[in-house]
Each structure stands twice: as C-alpha cells, then as structure tokens.
A = this chain, B = another copy of it.
Amino acid sequence: MSDALSLDHLRGLDAGDPLKGFRADFVLPEGVIYLDGNSLGPAPKAALNALQHAGSAEWAQDLIRSWNAAGWFQLPLELGDRVGRLIGAAPGQVAVCDSTSINIFKALSAAAGLRPDRKTVLAEAGSFPTDVYIAEGFVASQPGYRLRLEGQDGASILDMLGPDVGVVLLNHVNYRSGRLADLVAVTRAIHEAGALVIWDLCHSAGALPIGLDAAEVDFAVGCSYKYLNGGPGAPAFIYVAERHQAAARQPLSGWWGHARPFAFETHYEGAPAIARFLCGTQPILSLRALKGALEVWDRVDLDALRAKSLQLTDLFIALVETRCADHGLALETPRDPAVRGSQVSFSHPHAYEIVQALIERQVIGDFRAPDVLRFGFTPLYLSHEDVWIAVETLRDILETGLWREPRFAARHAVT
C-alpha cells in the first residue's frame, strides 16, 4: 500500500482537518461507521434538543400560543432562507414544506404554466423514481401533455430539447451512480432551447456548493433528511427563482399559500412571493428538528466541505481498488472528481448480501437494486480513518466470504 493510503498518513490528514470539530455536533452510536448519510443523515445534538424543546415546552406548555410565540408559522420560510444559503439562493426564494414528490408536482405545474404552448416534459429514466412517477402523474392529469424520458433510446437530454419541450426535470447528483451534472451548462442549454429547468437537489444539497441564482436556475427541489440531517422524512424544500414568482401558479393552493391566510377569505389569492408554494399546515415537530440541524449548517464552509468530500471519496475508491481487488467490485461512480457527488457506488452480483454483512460489522452503507453497493461520504462526521476501517472491513468480508452466510440473503425494504 502506498504511503498516501497508510493509516498513519490518514491519521495525519484527520489531525489537520478543518472540519474535524463538527463530529462533536452529532450523536452516532459507538463503533458505527455511518456511510449512509446520503439516505438518512444522523442526529445532530441540536436537532434532538430542538425536538425535545418543541415537544415538552412549545407544544405541551405553551400550546396554541406557540404558533406565534415560537415562530411555528414562520418556519417554512425561515428555514427556507437558511437552506437557501446552502444552495446559492438569495433570501425569499426557498420554502421548506411537504415532500420532495409534492414539491416536484408544484414545480412541474408552475413551470408548465409558464410555457403554455410547449406540452412535452423531459425527465431522466435513471432519475430517482419518484421524479418520473410524479411527472407521469402530472402529464396524465393534463390533456395534451406528454413525458419523454432520457436514457431509453440513447438520446441525451440536450438532444431531446425542441420547440415542444417546456420543462426539463433533472437530478443534480444521480442517486445511484453519484454522477454530478453540470448545472450551469445544462441550465444554459435548456434556456437556449426555450424551456425551463427543475433541478432535484436531493443528493447534492449539503454535499457540495450549489449556485442556483448564479446559474439562473428556474426551479429546484430537494430533501432535508439526507446530507442536511433534518431527521427521518423531514420536510423537503422548493426553490422558485424570484423572476418567476409573480407569474407562477400551482394547483395545490392551500391556505398557507394565501396572501392573507388568517383573514379566512372565501377565495384564494396566492401570496405575492415564495409563500404561494406553501399548501397546508406543516408538521411542526419535524420542522423543529430540522431547524436544530440547520444550526450546524449555519457554521459550515461549503468549499471546505467539498474539498474534504472529494478527499474521502478519492480515498475510498483508491483503497477499495487496492485492498479489495479481484473480488468483482466495479466502480459505478465517476473517477473524475469534477463530476462526482459525495457518494461512491460499486456494483457486484452479490451487492445485497455484502451490504448486509457490512451492516452487521457496523459499517452502514446501502444497497440499491439490482446490484449496487452505495456509500455516502459526509465530511461533517467522517474521518479519513473511518474510510480506512470501512474498507478493511469490506476486505475482510470479501476475503473470508462472510457475506455467503445464509442470514445475509433475506431481502427487506430499505430506503
């Protein structure tokens, strides 16, 4: 093993890591190496404290008064602005609410409405499935609309642009391969073809710097329970560029999106800005946990985060290819760091069993059908030494054939 991959060298990198202090902000079980923060981020201490306070004090003691006194009603836009900093959005363009799926529907509806003469929606066959499912639901509900998927006939999204394409729904980082799209160039090409873009940031928000405003993105959505560590199923976010807000319409026009929600008027009038993308009452306890989690993010330098993320993923690839060679693992993630998110995937015919064996050995990654081992690298709480231990554990499982034991073969649902 080269010096650069030695444990001593890696410990030296950890000692000089500018982000090492963030590890103390998280609760992580003793002995676990958690490479699944791209599926469910672990619990920030501040999130657990916020949750406890929201339940025992705000709800139980202050009751209905907390809608005002604890700022519950303002949480979607307050947290939206805080997420905004992480995705390159100036204030007033992001709301935290509902689920990613629901927000995709809102964004599709609004974007299509802004391009009324263009009835084709483009999406990616290889995107996280819910994006396609929602796009299918949207076009089925709108007479004359159709959905075309990139990746089914060899054509690229850019090849598929044309005068009938009004909206393009894309994943910034692919959930399976970890490939990072060129947000600036692709957005520009879509605009040049007269269409609008919706970027799904589920696997990039909190993983790397994103410049939505600078790239003149139209719409974006994403979740807050992966890299942002907001808690299981924490509400998602939606970004609507300020220039589109006045004209944008979406049919989930619930009372929280009304210009005067507490006037209890008989007819809907959308709020003048991003608030018109709110719909109904939000799950406050989940939002309060997320608010706690964002206290950590308020202190994070995203360039330092990206630098360490790439160090960790480079290291993982190099170690696996050195220490686990000849075991049939094939890299599915781009080797070029410029087009890599913050995860590394390998395919293997027995990916499921190997992942289960790793979990038993306290190295938690996940399996993605049909044959992918997926590992997320989250610089706030992972060290270079953690990566080293994870790979040594993987090596041991492969060398000993531990994964062949029958207990690893039973399939369960995993998200």
Interface residue A281 (Cβ < 8 Å from any Cβ of B): yes
Interface hit among A284-292, A297-305, A319-327: A284-292
A353-402 with Cβ < 8 A to chain B: 359, 364, 366, 368-369
A281 to B128, CA, bound (A): 13
A32 to B250, CA, bound (A): 41
A291 to B132, CA, bound (A): 31
User: Is B63 within 8 A of A252, CB to CB?
Assistant: no
A413 CB contact (under 8 Å) in B29, B68, B132, B279:
B68
User: Is A99 within 8 A of B282, CB to CB?
Assistant: yes
A368 to B263, CA, bound (A): 9
A286 CB contact (under 8 Å) in B34, B109, B286:
B286
Interface residue A311 (Cβ < 8 Å from any Cβ of B): no
User: Is B129 within 8 A of A29, CB to CB?
Assistant: no
Interface residue A73 (Cβ < 8 Å from any Cβ of B): yes
1/0 per position for A59-75, CB-CB distance to B under 8 A?
11111111110001100
Interface residue A406 (Cβ < 8 Å from any Cβ of B): no
1/0 per position for A242-270, CB-CB distance to B under 8 A?
00000001111111111001111111100
Interface hit among A2-10, A38-46, A158-166, A206-214: A38-46
Interface residue A225 (Cβ < 8 Å from any Cβ of B): yes
User: Is B262 within 8 A of A413, CB to CB?
Assistant: yes
**How far, in Å, is A415 (CB) from chain B's closest CB?**
5
In the bound complex, residues from chain B placing their C-beta under 8 Å from that of A283 are: 231-235, 283, 285-286
User: Is A133 within 8 A of B42, CB to CB?
Assistant: no
In the bound complex, residues from chain B placing their C-beta under 8 Å from that of A285 are: 51, 231-234, 283, 285-286, 289
In the bound complex, residues from chain B placing their C-beta under 8 Å from that of A29 are: 60-63
User: Is B369 within 8 A of A255, CB to CB?
Assistant: no
A262 CB contact (under 8 Å) in B36, B234, B369:
B369
A265 to B143, CA, bound (A): 25
Interface residue A331 (Cβ < 8 Å from any Cβ of B): no
User: Is A414 within 8 A of B68, CB to CB?
Assistant: yes
User: Is A284 within 8 A of B232, CB to CB?
Assistant: yes
User: Is A280 within 8 A of B101, CB to CB?
Assistant: yes
A48 CB contact (under 8 Å) in B55, B130, B134, B256:
B55
User: Is A43 within 8 A of B60, CB to CB?
Assistant: yes
**How far, in Å, is A238 (CB) from chain B's closest CB?**
12
Interface residue A183 (Cβ < 8 Å from any Cβ of B): no
Interface residue A237 (Cβ < 8 Å from any Cβ of B): no
Interface residue A100 (Cβ < 8 Å from any Cβ of B): yes
User: Is A64 within 8 A of B231, CB to CB?
Assistant: no
A286 to B54, CA, bound (A): 11
Interface residue A216 (Cβ < 8 Å from any Cβ of B): no
**How far, in Å, is A246 (CB) from chain B's closest CB?**
17
A364 CB contact (under 8 Å) in B63, B98, B258:
B63
A232 CB contact (under 8 Å) in B66, B152, B262, B359:
B66
In the bound complex, residues from chain B placing their C-beta under 8 Å from that of A252 are: 101-102, 105, 134, 137
**How far, in Å, is A150 (CB) from chain B's closest CB?**
11
Interface residue A236 (Cβ < 8 Å from any Cβ of B): yes
User: Is A279 within 8 A of B369, CB to CB?
Assistant: no
A39 to B281, CA, bound (A): 12
Q: Which residue of B lies closest to A281 (CB)?
A: B233
Q: Which residue of B lies closest to A268 (CB)?
A: B133
A19-62 with Cβ < 8 A to chain B: 27-29, 32, 34, 36, 39-40, 42-43, 47-48, 51-52, 54-56, 58-62
Q: Sample 6 A-B pairs with CB under 8 A, ordered by A number.
A: A34-B63, A99-B280, A132-B266, A133-B253, A136-B253, A285-B286
8 extra interface residue pairs, beta carbon distance < 8 Å, beyond A43-B59, A65-B364, A233-B285:
A27-B56, A48-B55, A99-B282, A132-B268, A137-B252, A140-B249, A235-B283, A262-B415
